[in-house]
Amino acid sequence: MSRFIEDDDKPAHAGAGKHELARRLAEAALRAEEHGDQARADELFAEAERTDPQAVENVLMEWPEHPRTRRRRVPG
C-alpha cells in the first residue's frame, strides 16, 4: 500500500513542482557522486532535502545499490 494519498510518487503535503525539483536534485547528486564530485553531490543533496525530504527518500529507494543509499540504511 502506498504511503501517499495517490499512488503517483507525489506526497500529499508537497506541491508537485517542489517534489519533482527535489527528485531531480537528488538524482543529479547521485550522478555527481558516481563521477567523483563529492562536494557537488553534498550540495545537491542538501538542497534536495530542504526542498522535499520525501522525494529524496523515494529516489534513494530507486537506487538501492548506490553507496549513499547503503550509508543511509539503519542497521537493525
Domain boundaries, the chain: 16-72
What distance in Å separates the CA atoms of residue 37 and residue 35, rounded to the nearest whole number?
6
**Does residue 1 surpass a pLDDT of 50?**
no
19 and 56 Cβ atoms separated by less than 8 Å: no
71 and 33 Cβ atoms separated by less than 8 Å: no
What distance in Å separates the CA atoms of residue 45 and residue 27, rounded to the nearest whole number?
9
Task: Determine the Cα angle at 48 with ends 61 and 51, to 5°.
Answer: 115
> Which residue type is seen at 38?
Q
* The predicted structure's pLDDT at residue 67: 74
Global confidence as pTM:
0.70
pLDDT in tens, 7-47: 455 555 556 799 999 999 999 999 999 999 999 999 999 99
